[in-house]
Homo-oligomer: A and B are copies of this chain.
Amino acid sequence: MEERGLDDRELHAWRSFFRMQEVLRGRIEQQLQAANGLSNADYTVLVALADDPAGRARLVELGRFLGWEKSRLHHQLTRMCKRGLVRRESAATRAMFVVLTPEGRDALEKAAPCHAAHVRRLTIDPLTDEQIDQLAEISTAILANLEADQQPSR
């Protein structure tokens, strides 16, 4: 009576995947929040910035890298600015940068091992080595398809 077009096997796969992803995301979020006062979005931005040796990135680049809408990024950054995790810097020529502040770097370094352990416990440990690779392959397959299918923009 719903989701016709998927047979039982497919429907089951989809539903368990979706449920799993939902719960997992929630747990990760809570853990980061409780232990480090960071949202997952915060953490993601921090990690991305730390990729750069100077902890600096242009807004567009960052947005493209994260696959985020510009406005989402903007709001996120203003929140992070308010908390002193990053700082905006306007270059001479019509370009905006974000820089990791020392506090931001600190927060990241404190959170990282804890987060990693949590991710491991929740998603790596319950899987066999094979399954880990399968998950990676499945994910990239779906991702590739998503990127092909429509929306090259962003």
Contacts and interface: CB of A to CB of B under 8 A. Distances in A.
How many monomers of this chain does the complex have?
A: 2
A2 B143 contact: no
Nearest to A21: B21
Interface residues of A, number: 59
Contact of A22 (B4, B67, B136, B149): B67
B127 A142 contact: yes
A75 interface: no
A35 interface: no
A139 B19 contact: yes
- Majority DSSP secondary structure for residues of A touching B: helix
Nearest to A114: B5
A93 interface: no
Nearest to A108: B2
A126 to B, nearest CB: 4
10 contacts: A2-B50, A4-B116, A6-B116, A6-B119, A13-B135, A13-B136, A23-B143, A27-B151, A122-B145, A127-B138
Interface of A: 1-6, 9-10, 12-14, 16-17, 19-25, 27, 46-47, 50, 67, 108, 112-113, 115-117, 119-127, 131-147, 149, 151
